[in-house]
Amino acid sequence: MEITQARTWAEVDLAALEHNYRALRSNLEPGCKFVGVVKANAYGHGALPVAKKLETLGAEYLAVACLAEAIELREGGIRTPILILGGTPGELAGELIRYDLTQALFDLSTARAYSQAAVAAGRELKVHIKADTGMGRLGFVGPGRVEDILTACALPGLEAEGLFTHFSDADGSEAYTMAQFTDFLDLRDALAARGRRFSLCHCAASAATLRFPCTHLDMVRPGIALYGHYPDESTVGLDGPGLIPVMTVRTRVAAVRTLPAGACISYGRTKVLGRESRVAVLPIGYADGLHRGLSSRMEVLFPQGRAPILGRVCMDLCMVDVTDLPGVEAGDVAEVFGQALPVEEKSDALGTISYELLTSVAPRVPRLYL
């Protein structure tokens, strides 16, 4: 679709992505590898175009959440190693081998299933062993984890390349994060004492990459920071040059109407005009990813200035007040969020995080790659 025909679209600035990649990379020690996290359609930005850019830039690894996301990249021509961070059932181990993927491994029973499949195929499956150090989600855990990991690593057909964990509060508690990190280092050392070493030990996602250089180890895994957003106020400016938002969502005015004082706007009549107003109808709604919770709680940006939303966000439309913005007419373009209007304004209003709004931009919103 031509953007000139689009009602609403997202511009993805690959130059900004490159800026963020280089800003983050500049803070790493020589030899520290970089995992570009492209799960969830690259946080809504488009997995394949983003992965191709990161591959060109030299990212040593890419990371996704599931097998389907990895296959999409491989079938799109991506040759960079891909780490699947989530679980893949043992019966699908053949697909992991077929597509030359690296799989996170976090329990012994699945390790045995992977081993059987790899031996049957006459191939090796590369795995990264995940330890739960306090996230309470996935990973080898408990007093028997050293023995379980050693057993898994010794299974035929498995190449245990990596050992990793995930911090739960790296954008919050330094003490808790350092406790997790210490636990991870103790585990690494205990395994090394038993003869098991790993070429890639990693635990730093965006927040730890920015806040705690001591956690960088062999490789870092930036996600949200790669797309130009800080995981928390405490991390702002720690990258040096400053991150640039990669995605800008725009929408084209469908109509501008003059309505009298007392007119009701949108479903439920939650907004009643207190004055005669010029109301612009925007073709973006919650089916496009504009959260209904932002009803009467957000603004969009025109060249002339900001315009507040009026009433409830509809499935496909919303209305904004352009009375004080002379010159706004049908066909004009408004920024919903992006480089000029931070998405964080909207996520803060909702009591959520930027990640949710970025990943919520719907597939029907075309992406334009700049």
Dihedral sign, Cα of residue 282, residue 285, residue 287, residue 290: positive
Domain stops at, among 171, 195, 226? 226
What distance in Å separates the CA atoms of residue 109 and residue 113, rounded to the nearest whole number?
Answer: 7
Does 333 fall in a domain? yes
Are residues 194 and 255 located together in one domain of the fold? no
Are residues 262 and 182 located together in one domain of the fold? no
CATH of the domain at 305: 2.40.37.10
Let me know how long the chain is. Answer: 370
DSSP-derived secondary structure letter, 6: -
Does 287 fall in a domain? yes
Domain stops at, among 191, 226, 261? 226
DSSP-derived secondary structure letter, 258: E
Beta strands in the chain (DSSP E): 8-12, 33-37, 61-64, 82-84, 102-105, 125-130, 158-164, 200-204, 219-220, 247-252, 255-259, 264-265, 271-272, 277-282, 299-302, 305-310, 318-321, 333-337, 367-369
DSSP-derived secondary structure letter, 324: T
Could you tell me if 248 and 13 are in contact, meaning their C-beta atoms sit under 8 angstroms apart? Answer: yes
Are residues 77 and 150 located together in one domain of the fold? yes
Are residues 136 and 201 located together in one domain of the fold? yes
Does 153 fall in a domain? yes
CA nearest 118: which of 96, 103, 141?
96
What integer pLDDT is reported at residue 234 of this predicted model?
A: 73
Are residues 251 and 204 located together in one domain of the fold? no
Cβ within 8 Å of residue 31, ≥6 positions away: 218
What integer pLDDT is reported at residue 6 of this predicted model?
A: 82
What distance in Å separates the CA atoms of residue 288 and residue 300, rounded to the nearest whole number?
Answer: 15
Does 286 fall in a domain? yes
Instruction: Going from the first residue of the chain to its last (370 residues), give the mean pLDDT of each consecutive group of 10, the final group possibly shorter.
Output: 76 98 94 98 98 98 98 98 96 96 97 96 96 96 95 97 97 96 98 97 96 97 96 73 93 98 97 97 98 96 97 98 96 97 95 96 96
DSSP 58-120: T-SEEEESSHHHHHHHHHTT--S-EEE-S---GGGHHHHHHTT-EEEE--HHHHHHHHHHHHH
3-state secondary structure (DSSP) of residue 310:
strand
Are residues 147 and 265 located together in one domain of the fold? no
Q: Is 39 a catalytic residue?
A: yes
Are residues 67 and 204 located together in one domain of the fold? yes
| Count of domains for the chain | 2
What integer pLDDT is reported at residue 3 of this predicted model?
A: 59
Does 15 fall in a domain? no
User: Considering 33, 39, 126, 346, which one is annotated as catalytic?
Assistant: 39
DSSP-derived secondary structure letter, 29: P
Cβ within 8 Å of residue 151, ≥6 positions away: 108, 111
Burial of 19 (0-12, 13-18, 19+ CB in 10 A): middle
Are residues 95 and 168 located together in one domain of the fold? yes
Q: Is 126 a catalytic residue?
A: no
CATH of the domain at 191: 3.20.20.10
Are residues 64 and 208 located together in one domain of the fold? yes
Are residues 52 and 180 located together in one domain of the fold? yes
Cβ within 8 Å of residue 56, ≥6 positions away: none
What integer pLDDT is reported at residue 2 of this predicted model?
A: 56
What distance in Å separates the CA atoms of residue 175 and residue 169, rounded to the nearest whole number?
Answer: 9
3-state secondary structure (DSSP) of residue 317:
coil
pTM for the whole structure: 0.94
Does 158 fall in a domain? yes
Q: Write out the H or E segment, with its range, that includes residue 288.
A: none
Are residues 66 and 147 located together in one domain of the fold? yes
CA nearest 129: which of 71, 69, 167, 85?
85
User: What range defines the domain where residue 90 resides?
Assistant: 31-226
Does 130 fall in a domain? yes
What distance in Å separates the CA atoms of residue 174 and residue 180, rounded to the nearest whole number?
Answer: 10
Cβ within 8 Å of residue 74, ≥6 positions away: 82, 99, 100, 101
Are residues 199 and 274 located together in one domain of the fold? no
* pLDDT tens figures, 88-127: 999 999 999 999 999 999 999 999 999 999 999 999 999 9
Q: Residues 119-145, buried b or exposed e (16+ Cβ, 10 A)?
A: eeeeeebbbbbbbbbbbeebbbbeeeb
Does 192 fall in a domain? yes
Per-residue tokens: 328: 């706004």
